[in-house]
Amino acid sequence: MLPIVTEEQSSLAFAEIFQDVHSWRKKMIHYIKDENPEINSAIIEAANNTDLDPKAVALGAYMTYILLEMASKEQDTMGVIEDDEEEI
């Protein structure tokens, strides 16, 4: 099951992304290429096989990826905290 993205996570991500969309997108290309090459390939494939603006398609995919990653990390952290509290 996918983690739930909170409004706070969205706000934090969007504040960073929309400061300089072009630079952020380029940074994400390299980040995802290292972090998850198969996802990066899928994003590039989707961006190149549509009538839509490829940069816009990639931006949406990268935004989704980073939001899910943020939510997943927070969920994992909360799970560790809850496990620690149960041991007490």
Contacts of 32-37 spanning 24+ positions with Cβ under 8 A: 32/62, 32/65, 36/65
Model confidence pTM above 0.95: no
Predicted confidence (pLDDT) per residue in 63-87, tens digit: 999 999 999 999 888 765 555 556 5
Kindly report, residue by residue over 17-43, the tens digit of the pLDDT.
999 999 999 999 999 999 999 999 999
